[in-house]
Structure 1
Amino acid sequence: MRAVKEVYQGKKQREGGGFVVRRALGGATPSCDPFLMLDHFGPQTYGPGEAIGAPDHPHRGFETVSYIITGETCHKDSQGNSGNLGPGWVQWMTAGSGVVHSEMPSPKMQRDGGTIEGFQLWVNLPAKDKMTAPRYQDTPPEKIPVVKTTDGKVTVKVIAGESLGTKAIISTRSPMMYLDIRLTPGSEFTQHVPGSHDGFIYVWGGTATVGTNKKTVTFGQTAVLGGGTEISIANKTNEECRVLLIAGEPLKEPVAWHGPFVMNTQEEINQAFLDYQSGKLGKIPGAAERQRQTEAARQTQKNTGTWNRK
C-alpha cells in the first residue's frame, strides 16, 4: 500500500490570454515523471464578452491533455485540425514534432458568457517519440468508460489506463493512468497502481483521506504518492469528493524545458525556437482576430472588475 509523501497547495496564476489557473503540478509543486504540469482552470463564471482562452501558441516534444468539466472551447492548429470540446470531452494532443495551436472559448461563451472548468495535463514524450507526427485523440464523454464499485458508492471515469477491470480507449505512448474518481460521503476506494509508476492525487472537490498515513487532502491540493502497488482514498465527510488519480511509468530521461517546448537537450530547444520563428511549425488563419478577441475580453474584465478577482 502507498503512503502520501507530501501535500502541496496549488498556486493561482494567469496563463494563455490571461485566464486564471491553479497550478496543481509543476512550478512550486514538483513535476512527477512523466508528468510535467497539471493546471486546474475554473470554475470561473464569465459575463458577456469576458471569456478568455489561449490564442495561437506553439508546442513540441510532449502531449497536452485537456479535460473539460463545464463550458465549451474551440481548438485549431497549423495542420488544419479543428474542433469543439464541450462538457466531459477529453482531447489528448500529441504535439510531437510541433504545431501551432489555439484554444479559445466558443463563440457562444464569448458572446453570452458562462462557466468554464477543466484541466490541462502536460505529459512528456520519450526521446524516441519527440519528433513523431502530431496526433489528436478527441474523445466525447459517451466514449469514455465510466464504472462503479459494487456498492455503487464510488464512480471512476477511466480516461487512461485501467480501473475496476475496465480499460480506457485512449492510447498512451508510455504506461500510465488518468482517473477521475467521485466518492460519495462515507465511501472508500482502493486502486491498483503498478509499483513501477510514480503518481499523484489532485482533489478538485471536497476533502479526501489518502494513503496508509491517512493524509487529509482538501480542494486545490496535490498529494504526491510514495511507493507501493495500491493507493487508498476515503471520503470521511458529509459531502461529495472528487479527485484525479494520475500515475505513470517514469521516462528517466534528461529534460530540457523552455516555455512551450520540452526536449532532451538545450540544443534541441534552440532548434525548436528557430523552427517556430522561421515558420516551420506553420500558422493558423485568423490569428489577428483571435488576438483582438482576447484583448477585448481582457479589457471587458477590467471594466467590470472581473480581472481583479482570482
Structure 2
Amino acid sequence: MSERIITKVATPKVQTEGGGFLVRKVIGTVIPTCDPFLMLDHIGPVEYKPGEALGAPDHPHRGFETVTYVIDGEIRHQDSAGNSGVLKPGWIQWMTAGKGLIHSEMPTENLINNGGKVEGFQLWINLPAKEKMIEPRYQDIPSEKIPVAKTADNKVTVKVLSGESLGVSAVIETKIPIIMLDIHLQPGSSFTQHVPLSHTGFCYVWRGAGFLGSNKLPVHMGQVGVLSDKGTEFHIHAEETKDCHALLIAGKPINEPIVNYGPFVMNTQEEIDQAIEDYRAGKLGQIPGEAERVRQTEAAQALNKKNKNNL
C-alpha cells in the first residue's frame, strides 16, 4: 500500500464573516480551492456575553452544497422553502442548495440571552453541472445518530460524517464521493485512513497538535495540511503529550469550469448572471422576519464593538 504525504502546511488568518463572527478560512484564502471543495470555515471558538452572539442573516445559495458541523453553541436555521430547525452541539447539516433558496443561520434565543461558547465549521462542496439546478435538499443529523468508529486500542475515535472509516459507514448521502471524518487522537496515538487514489483532500487540526502524512509534518491548532495526489493511505499521529482533533476531508474532483460570485457557484458567467437576476426578481423566495434578523444582528454588532472598546 502506498502512503500519502503532506505537500503543504498553511495557517489561515482569523477574519470576520456573515454578521461579524470570527472565522479561520481554511480553504478559500491561503489554499484557494481543493476541487471539489470550495471553502472550509472554522467558526470560533469564541465566548459570547449575553447579547453578543452573531449569525448569518438571510442570504442566497445556488449551485453547491453547504455542510454545517456544530461543535459548541446552537444555530437556528430557516430557509425560503419553509424548512427550519435548531442545530445543537455535535449536529451536522448537509444542505444541497441546488437551484437555489434563501437561507439564514442565526443564534438561538437561549444563546442570545445567556451567551456561551460557539465553535463549528462550514464546508462548501461544488456540485457537477448536471446537479446544479436540482431541487434543494436537507440532511440534518443529530449527534447521537452520527456513526462512530474506534481503533482496537480505543485511543482513536472517529466520527464518520460522510464516507467510511474502520468499517463504519456514514448515514449522510452525498452527490459525489466524499470522506469527512472528525478524528480525535489521544496523546501518542496514531491513525490510518484509506483515501482512494482518485480523491484530493486536506486535513485540518482544530484542536491540539500532531503530525500529518507519512512525512510526519508537525501541525498545531489552526493549521491545515494538503494531501499529495499519490498514495492511498493517510497517517496522522498525535503528539506524545497532547490530544489531536482533526478534520480529514477528501473527495473526487469534478474537474469542471467554476465561475463563482459570492453565494452562487456555476459553470459559466451566463449562469451567474441568471442567478443574480433570479435573486433580484425574488425567484429564490424570502423568509418571513428578515427585518428582525437584521435588527438583531445590528444590535449584536453594536454591543460587540462597545464591549471591545471598554476593554
The answer (yes or no) to whether the contact 2:101–2:284 under 8 Å persists in 1 is yes
Task: Give the alignment of 1:56-95 within 5 angstroms.
Answer: 56-95=58-97
Q: How many residues align?
A: 308
Match in the other structure for 2:46: 44
1:206 aligned counterpart, secondary structure: strand
Q: Matched residue of 2:98: which SS?
A: coil
The corresponding residue for 1:216 is 218
Residue 19 of structure 1 corresponds to 21
Instruction: Show the counterpart of 1:277.
Output: 280
RMSD: 1.1
**Residue number among 151, 156, 170 corresponding to 1:149 in the alignment:** 151
| Aligned mates of 1:70, 1:237 — CA distance in 2 | 26
Is the Cα contact below 8 Å between 1:301 and 1:307 reproduced in 2? no
Q: Are 1:303 and 2:306 matched, yes or no?
A: yes
2:256 equivalent to 1:253: yes
CA deviations 1:96-154 (Å, max 9, x no partner) are 00010000000111111111000000000011000000000000011100110000000
Q: Is contact 1:207–1:237 with CA below 8 Å preserved after alignment?
A: no
Could you tell me whether the CA contact under 8 Å between 2:178 and 2:251 is conserved in 1? yes
- Write the letter of the residue equivalent to 2:132: K
Judge conservation of contact 1:209–1:216 (CA < 8 Å) in 2. Answer: yes
Task: Extract structure 1 runs of 4+ deviating beyond 4 A.
Answer: none
Counterparts in 2 of 1:307 and 1:235: CA distance versus 1, 3 Å: farther
User: In the alignment, which residue of structure 1 is the partner of 2:182?
Assistant: 180
Of 182, 200, 203, which aligns to 1:201? Answer: 203
Q: Where does structure 1 lack aligned partners over 5 or more consecutive residues?
A: none
Distance 1:41 1:50 in 2: 15
Secondary structure of the residue that 2:286 maps to in structure 1? coil
TM-score (normalizing by structure 2):
0.98
Q: Following the alignment from structure 1 to structure 2, what is the Cα–Cα distance between the partners of residues 231 and 69?
A: 24
Helix, strand or coil at the partner of 1:273: helix
Look up the equivalent residue of 1:105 and give its one-letter code.
P
Structure 1 residue 127 corresponds to structure 2 residue 120: no
What's the offset of the Cα at 1:8? 0.7
5+ residue gaps, structure 2: none
Are the counterparts in 2 of residues 298 and 307 from structure 1 also a CA contact under 8 Å? no
Equivalent position to 1:262, from 254, 261, 265: 265
Alpha-carbon distance between aligned partners in 1 of 2:180 and 2:167, rounded to the nearest angstrom = 14
CA offsets per residue over residues 151-196 of structure 1, 9 Å max, x none? 0000000000000001000000001100000000010011000000
Counterpart position of 1:107: 109
Instruction: Give, in angstroms, the shift of residue 306 of structure 1.
Output: 7.5
Question: Secondary structure at 1:232's aligned position in 2?
Answer: strand
Deviations along 1:46-72, whole A, 9 cap, x unmatched? Answer: 001000000000000000000000000
